[in-house]
Amino acid sequence: MTVHRSGTTVPLSSSGRPRRSLLAAAGALLAVLSLLLTLPGSAGATDTPPRGSAYLGMGVIEHDGQGGLPRGNRAAQTEGVDVSSHQGNVNWSALWSSGVKWSYVKATEGTYYKNPYFTQQYNGSYDIGMVRGAYHFATPDTATGAAQADYFVSNGGGWSRDGRTLPGALDIEWNPYGDACYGKSQSAMVSWIRDFLNRYKARTGRDAVIYTSTSWWTQCTGNYAGFGASSPLWIARYNTTPGTLPAGWGFQTMWQYTSSGPIVGDHNKFNGAYDRVVALANG
């Protein structure tokens, strides 16, 4: 069927509508679908996790890979775990019975997030008999080092000389929300870390532990060696050995060696017997 308009002949569909209009509508629909597939958050885009969801070692496997577990029974090492909101209410009794004697609990992130499970995790580990500490996930692109240290200390990251509380730990590693080095130059990153450490010590009297990976430390600080004399090192490497350490540290105090351990995934080795864990707690 055809209809004549201004001297031209336009083909019609069986419903009487011009075929050209139907084709145009179909083309527009395809264009919209194509756009949706390329929008952030769509099925075809890389998803960015929500703020607050970061945790120790979040990027270790992606950036450093994963090898085997430590070989044999490593002498004079004490088992520990680290937890965050991802673990919810933790079965501390089962962990204690399995041989875990110390723990670190995520307290804060940036200046915008507090772990909603912190009380159960921090007090629960203490109540079962563990030596426990708190850690802060650093986001150097959202606030100063000093501001984040204050937020951490004020929301669970303090220290007390009770023989069972470890100094706070600064989790400084790959940015799960964007640029790996948080948009900072190597010198600016070193300055940010120094500001955090100085404020933490001014508030608590203790030098904070530094948790990091050698590859991230090398990339984002230029393998800066200036913190090894004061801050204990907690190294992340999911392999049979801790591997090469960042500059400035001759040994690691703690080693996160797996994200797939029993009961709680993240398991760690303290580089010493239990009495050395207590010694670190006592300062």
Q: In this predicted structure, what is the pLDDT of residue 74? A: 56
Q: Which of 30-34, 119-123, 244-248 has the lowest mean pLDDT?
A: 30-34
Reported for 235-238, long-range contacts at CB under 8 A and 24+ positions apart, including other chains, are 235/211, 236/56, 236/57, 236/60, 236/64, 236/173, 236/211, 236/212, 237/60, 237/64, 237/213, 238/57, 238/60, 238/61, 238/64, 238/65, 238/66, 238/67
* pTM of the complete model: 0.79
Q: In this predicted structure, what is the pLDDT of residue 39? A: 37
Average confidence score pLDDT of the chain: 85
Q: In this predicted structure, what is the pLDDT of residue 54? A: 73
Specify whether 171 is located in the same domain as 100. yes
pLDDT at 42 over 50: no
Specify whether 183 is located in the same domain as 223. yes
pLDDT at 20 over 60: no
Q: Coil, helix or strand for 157?
A: helix
Strands 254-258 and 8-11: unpaired
Report if residue 123 sits inside a domain. Answer: yes
Q: What percent of the chain has pLDDT over 70?
A: 77
Report if residue 51 sits inside a domain. Answer: no
User: Quick count: other Cβ atoms within 10 Å of Cβ 163?
Assistant: 11
* pLDDT tens per residue, range 214-223: 999 999 999 9
277 compared with 27, residue with greater pLDDT: 277
Q: Alpha helix (H) ranges present in the chain?
A: 19-38, 60-64, 92-97, 118-128, 145-152, 186-204, 214-221, 274-282
Return d(Cα 168, Cα 157) in angstroms, integer.
Answer: 6
pLDDT at 57 over 80: no
Specify whether 11 is located in the same domain as 111. no
Report if residue 137 sits inside a domain. Answer: yes
Specify whether 17 is located in the same domain as 90. no
Report if residue 45 sits inside a domain. Answer: no
Return d(Cα 55, Cα 73) in angstroms, integer.
Answer: 28
Q: In this predicted structure, what is the pLDDT of residue 65? A: 61
Please report which confidence band the pLDDT of residue 69 belongs to, taking 50, 70 and 90 as the band edges. low
Specify whether 81 is located in the same domain as 20. no
Report if residue 69 sits inside a domain. Answer: yes
Report if residue 88 sits inside a domain. Answer: yes
Domain count, the chain: 2
Q: Coil, helix or strand for 7?
A: coil
Specify whether 234 is located in the same domain as 197. yes
Return d(Cα 22, Cα 184) in angstroms, integer.
Answer: 53
pLDDT at 49 over 90: no
Write out the two tokens for 248: 């400035």
| CA-closest candidate to residue 192, choices 245, 148, 135, 236 | 148
pLDDT at 71 over 90: no
Report if residue 182 sits inside a domain. Answer: yes
pLDDT at 18 over 70: no
| CA-closest candidate to residue 172, choices 157, 193, 200, 147 | 193
Mean pLDDT of 124-138: 98
Residue 131: CATH number of its domain: 3.20.20.80
CB 38, CB 45: distance < 8 Å:
yes
Q: In this predicted structure, what is the pLDDT of residue 51? A: 84
Mean pLDDT of 26-39: 45
Specify whether 25 is located in the same domain as 64. no
Specify whether 146 is located in the same domain as 193. yes
pLDDT at 269 over 90: yes
Domain with 16, as residue range(s), is 2-38
Cα torsion 175, 104, 213, 224: sign: positive
Specify whether 179 is located in the same domain as 103. yes
- Active-site residues, by number, are 82, 171, 173
* pLDDT tens per residue, range 76-128: 899 999 999 999 999 999 999 999 999 999 999 999 999 999 999 999 999 99
CB 9, CB 2: distance < 8 Å:
yes
Specify whether 21 is located in the same domain as 134. no
Q: In this predicted structure, what is the pLDDT of residue 202? A: 98
pLDDT at 2 over 60: no
Report if residue 50 sits inside a domain. Answer: no
Specify whether 265 is located in the same domain as 193. yes
Q: Coil, helix or strand for 95?
A: helix
Specify whether 27 is located in the same domain as 109. no
